[in-house]
Structure 1
Amino acid sequence: MLNFYQQLATALQQGSVVLATVVKVQGSVPREVGAMMLFRSDGSSIGTIGGGAGEASIIEHARHVLATGEKQGVDIDLSGNLEHTKQGICGGRMHVWLERWQGESALALANEIVVSLQAGQDRVLIMPFASARSPYLSTPSSLLATPDDPAFITPLLHPPTLLIVGAGHVAVPLAHMAHLIDFRVVVQDDRPEFANHQRFSDATVLAQPIAPAVATLNTGALLYVALVTRGYQHDLAALRVLLPRSPHYIGMIGSQKRVKTVLQALQQEGIPDMAPSLLTAQLERIYAPIGLNLGALTPAEIAVSICAELIAVYRGGNGRSLSGSLAATPLSME
């Protein structure tokens, strides 16, 4: 989300844009309510509302909105069959709201959104449907939309933070991929030759020991941790600092033997000011070895498996193949 609004602000510096937002869905559709896509005057775009013929239709409407400034709602019917549909056959319907953003006021709003997201502030973006009203920011406690003043309301969710402990070979593709799936990425390693911005251009880099690095993290952010260190001693040091913070997710790379050694050591030694029962509960929550079982071997493949697990935890998925349910269902060819 943060990355999208940063790109919106950049695009507005270059001219007018049209923001397409999915505001209502019914049935099976490719994107969720709140999904956004940005159209520039040069014909380029950022983001997606699902691709295919449905998105192509939205592009045509966006050209009209860009030229006229008239807000517009567009229904995309994805419930057709192969012979008759022109918009796709996902099985559902989408209502997409199109609105032109332009000028200094729009740029100021985009920048304000970016600042709010970076600061973790509790804000919502309100997009009134009335033609004479412009989008604006508000707080959840002071929403102004009423039945007489309908609007689409988008919560501005602070991106989850992924702390990557260890800046070795796996960390490089992991940091890049995690950035692509909208995590705020922080990389920690006490070796400056590994932990530097040349290797991690998409991340905040902390070239220092783990304890002071963790102390700098935003306590209000949803924290995910990937331990991809160079040895189990570094896993132990990191877990002693991180477990009392109760991260939403902790995953640890390594063999079954390494994982067992680390967990047993923590259980036996304990952590100061942490009750044994709480420590046990926290240890049981660690994903170790980290990642989904994809048969990954290379650093990039391992990074994919870790990001797949991050998405599953964040979105509440089960990590199983999507083809499973369809494969078990006989298909009618009539």
Structure 2
Amino acid sequence: MITCFQQLAQALTYGPAVLATVVSIRGSVPREVGARLVVDAQGQAFNTIGGGAGEAKVIAQAQTVLQTGESQIVEIDLTGAPHRQTQGVCGGLMQVWLERWQGKDALALAQTIVQRLQAGQSVTLVTPLDGNGTPYLSEVPPDLDPAIAFVDTLQPPPLLLIVGAGHVGVQLAKVAHLAGFAIAVQDDRPDWANERLYPQATYRLTQPIEPALATLADHQNLYAALVTRGYTYDLEALTHLLSRPIPCTYIGMIGSEKRVRQVYQTLEQSGLPRSSFANIYGPIGLDIEALTPEEIAVSITAELIMVRRGGTGRPLSERLRHPMVANP
């Protein structure tokens, strides 16, 4: 979402732009409510609401909105119904609100959204749908009729703290950043935790783990991947991560089952109840038989996405290939 509003802010520096927002869905569709794309004054589109003929329809209609300034709803029909023109066969319907943004006030609003999301804060954007107002921010989500306004609380991107800046960490930063995670890396070796190896990182922390976590104390959506160079570093990191006032959304730890069990036993012996680390993902990642640092990074990122989106990690083809498999 930060990227989308960055693109919008950039587009507004050289002319008006249309922000297309998915405000309603029904059935099987490629994107969720709140998905957005930007169409700038030259007709270039940034971001995506699902691609294909449906997105092409929205981009074409955006040209009209750019010219007239009149907001409109565009319906994308993905039912595949034979008796009418549809834009796909996914099975559902999407409604997309197209609104022209222009001028200094619109640019200031887009920039404020970006700044607050970058600071790790959520922000509520209210978009009137009756044609009698412009988008605005609200400190508290208002209770408005969905037919009158679209209220969307935008969340900052999840922050992935990579503990251990070795070969796996380097590749994990690349893949996780591509998947939408902000990146922080912690390692006491400046030769590893640096801008050259981690250009994606917002934070490069070369102090011990305790003061490093203090730097991230206010982040409410912290994911941690322990890909350290040794058992003692895992223990130290877990001790501080598990006592963090704001619990981590995810903690994963690389290593064999034997190494993971040894860490758990040591934590228990130190007085930590087993219930406090029952939800640690160790060994880290999904089982795809990953071997290289690049493959391991894909495995870990897949698990991060699974936790973030609430997936199962099972093959999407499973029910078609094995029809008798029960739903999860």
- C-alpha distance in 2 between matches for 1:7 and 1:191: 35
- C-alpha distance in 1 between matches for 2:276 and 2:111: 39
Contact conserved, 1:158 with 1:221, CA < 8 A, in 2?
no
Deviation at 1:265, TM superposition (A): 1.7
Deviation at 1:202, TM superposition (A): 1.6
Q: Tell me whether 1:282 sits opposite 2:276 in the alignment.
A: yes
Return the letter of the residue paired with 1:161: L
- C-alpha distance in 1 between matches for 2:184 and 2:230: 19
- C-alpha distance in 2 between matches for 1:77 and 1:122: 32
Contact conserved, 1:122 with 1:139, CA < 8 A, in 2?
no
Match of 2:207 in 1: 208
Over 3 Å counting, the alpha-carbon distance change for 1:198 and 1:220 in structure 2 is closer
RMSD between aligned residues:
2.0
Structure 1 SS opposite 2:288: coil
Deviations 1:10-64 (A, max 9, x none): 2222322111111111111111111111112233222111111111111111111
Contact conserved, 2:170 with 2:197, CA < 8 A, in 1?
yes
Contact conserved, 2:45 with 2:59, CA < 8 A, in 1?
no
Deviations 1:47-85 (A, max 9, x none): 111111111111111111112211010111110158975
Return the letter of the residue paired with 2:227: V
Deviations 1:81-102 (A, max 9, x none): 5897541000011111001111
Deviation at 1:220, TM superposition (A): 4.5
Deviation at 1:145, TM superposition (A): 4.0
Match of 2:270 in 1: 269
Return the letter of the residue paired with 1:266: L
Q: Tell me whether 1:299 sits opposite 2:287 in the alignment.
A: no
- C-alpha distance in 2 between matches for 1:140 and 1:180: 31
Contact conserved, 2:76 with 2:86, CA < 8 A, in 1?
no
Match of 1:179 in 2: 177
Contact conserved, 1:25 with 1:33, CA < 8 A, in 2?
yes
- C-alpha distance in 1 between matches for 2:47 and 2:78: 20
For normalisation by structure 1, the TM-score amounts to: 0.90
Over 3 Å counting, the alpha-carbon distance change for 1:177 and 1:83 in structure 2 is farther
- C-alpha distance in 2 between matches for 1:4 and 1:173: 25
Q: Tell me whether 1:138 sits opposite 2:138 in the alignment.
A: yes
Between Structure 1 and Structure 2, how many residues are aligned? 321
Match of 1:235 in 2: 234
Contact conserved, 2:11 with 2:41, CA < 8 A, in 1?
no
Return the letter of the residue paired with 1:129: L
Which one of 289, 308, 319 corresponds to residue 302 of structure 2? 308
Match of 1:126 in 2: 126
Return the letter of the residue paired with 1:128: P
Structure 2 SS opposite 1:140: coil
- C-alpha distance in 1 between matches for 2:234 and 2:3: 31
Structure 2 SS opposite 1:87: coil
- C-alpha distance in 2 between matches for 1:235 and 1:9: 41
Unpaired segments ≥5 residues, structure 1: 271-275
Return the letter of the residue paired with 1:211: E
Contact conserved, 1:79 with 1:92, CA < 8 A, in 2?
yes
Return the letter of the residue paired with 1:258: R
Deviation at 1:182, TM superposition (A): 2.4
For normalisation by structure 2, the TM-score amounts to: 0.92
Unpaired segments ≥5 residues, structure 2: none
Report percent identity of matched pairs: 55
Return the letter of the residue paired with 2:297: A
Q: Tell me whether 1:5 sits opposite 2:5 in the alignment.
A: yes
Return the letter of the residue paired with 1:6: Q
Contact conserved, 1:165 with 1:229, CA < 8 A, in 2?
yes
Q: Tell me whether 1:77 sits opposite 2:77 in the alignment.
A: yes
Match of 1:50 in 2: 50
Structure 2 SS opposite 1:22: strand
Deviation at 1:186, TM superposition (A): 0.8
Return the letter of the residue paired with 1:169: H
